[in-house]
Chains A and B, each alone.
Chain A
């Protein structure tokens, strides 16, 4: 036998939610969705979308050395790298081609994890929709470049930690080099063999 009490009680719940949506704040049971293009939610620092390449100071000074590790580790193999060569045909420590196909990339972040040179990171940029798949979604080296300041802006804790680590390593390197130079100069010259 149906009395409908369950339905009426349920209706009261929906009525409560309906009223709450008008009169309550977002964390007290009201609406907490935002009207997207006008309003935006604060970005989470770890949010990851497509990767970008990092450079220090000037775009010529990019950290990537074209070691090809990220391309090998990439699960869907969306990275394509060709090493640059100088005029005499010697390999340079920078990529001539660095393409990422954003239609294939699945934003997993393994390139960032695997990169030994802190050169590739996951971006927060997500509004990249375009009308053309071939030309818009295949990102070349120059499209991917972003500055260290930008990285510091979007991911302050990560960037701070990485910068500190790099600075420390550089100082160590400098100190070691200075010591080596010092050792070289102070080392007693071996006496010339007597004849």
Chain B
């Protein structure tokens, strides 16, 4: 009897069946309302189907029924961690459409805000990745401590911590209040210290290395074919950053590098983000050094439309504006028919497109690794289900 109990079975031929499990939609590790339909063989993932749409709210259709400026607060709600980048992309698209110039000071403020957003996003995504790994709340709270300081700046500047609604076509909504630049400088000065501390905590941590290295490897070729963008693509070693490739706004004036990974595993994605934050700090320092002390904040052509957004009718045509959002290439495609509403409005959401690769990354790994891989993709469901 005992002998039979401890009989070692042939792992391949023993009589088991696969098990279908739904992870989510109400699961803390899915970062929102997202469901993974996983087929498991033991603990190994055999197939994984992402089920999205729980947060679908007709974003594109709404934007086609309201004025161009009125879409701006809606773009905040796409990727609610990075509302400034979302505003930036939408503003660029319309500026391309209507052929608008942006004054110098506004350009710098935009870049400063976009890079602060990148810090916010990367620092909190690393925190949440560690949460998914099982390091509950210590890293994420350290990350949130720093994020809080930047969100305070956003509140001071735009009035809201997350739903900033700060950029306008041809400029920004309001000039910075007095003393904000000094506070930004202070935050930036202290940030490298925090990053060093954060890295001491994490980068060489053996458990983190074991859990992340060679997990969810994304080959460069597959990444390109699946049109993955952002830190995920760069972690696979592909040198593509819209800030360098497109040189939108004033990014050609700054000296910064694009950190690249080698293997494209979860660890590379983590480390790429850390390095990207350091590069962002460089950009911020340069921008704060060069920003004009005073100047216009909105172009003369657009100033009358601030009071009357519905009178703004861009010429007939189409445009695609894109930025390197913290999650990847965020683009807005807009077609105008000369009316106050866009005729077609389309969002190229990086979270959604990066998520399509999830099954390829997860097959063959354990369930616990699938959670970590999802965390390393860095999705925000507001953007996935726009």
Binding site for B on A (CB under 8 A): 2-7, 9-10, 12-14, 17, 32, 44-48, 69, 72-75, 106-110, 113-114, 116, 122, 157
Contact = CB atoms under 8 A, between A and B. Distances in A.
A75 B76 CA distance: 13
Contacts of A107: 160, 163
B53 to A, nearest CB: 21
A9 B69 CA distance: 50
A46 B155 contact: yes
Interface in B40-96: 66-67, 69-74, 77
Interface in B143-158: 145, 148, 152, 155-158
B308 interface: yes
Chain B interface secondary structure, helix, strand, loop or mixed?
Answer: helix
B197 A73 contact: no
A10 B205 contact: yes
A74 B155 CA distance: 21
A48 B72 CA distance: 16
Interface string B299-310: 000000011111
Nearest to A69: B308
Contact of A73 (B67, B207, B208): B67
Contacts of A14: 138, 201
21 contacts: A6-B203, A7-B205, A7-B206, A9-B201, A10-B201, A14-B138, A14-B201, A45-B177, A46-B158, A47-B155, A48-B159, A72-B310, A73-B70, A73-B309, A73-B310, A75-B74, A107-B160, A110-B69, A110-B70, A113-B307, A114-B308
Given A75-B71, A106-B73, A108-B73, A13 B201 contact: yes
Given A5-B204, A73-B309, 11 more contacts: A7-B207, A9-B201, A10-B200, A13-B200, A44-B156, A47-B155, A75-B74, A108-B163, A110-B69, A110-B73, A114-B308
Interface in B211-256: none
Contact of B156 (A46, A106, A108): A46
B165 A108 contact: yes
A1 to B, nearest CB: 10
A106 B71 CA distance: 12
Given A2-B206, A108-B73, A114 B309 contact: yes
B191 interface: no
Given A2-B206, A6-B205, A73-B310, A46 B157 contact: yes
- Pick the 5 closest A-B CB pairs, nearest first: A108-B73, A6-B204, A75-B70, A48-B159, A46-B159
Contacts of B69: 73, 110
Contacts of A116: 307
A9 B159 contact: no
Interface string B183-209: 000000000000001001111111111
B333 interface: no
Contacts of B73: 75, 106, 108, 110
Q: Which of B69, B159, B165, B307 has the most CB of A within 10 A?
A: B159
Contacts of A46: 155-159, 174, 177
A43 B337 CA distance: 43
Interface in B280-302: none
Nearest to A116: B307
A45 B158 CA distance: 10
B313 interface: no
A108 B310 CA distance: 16
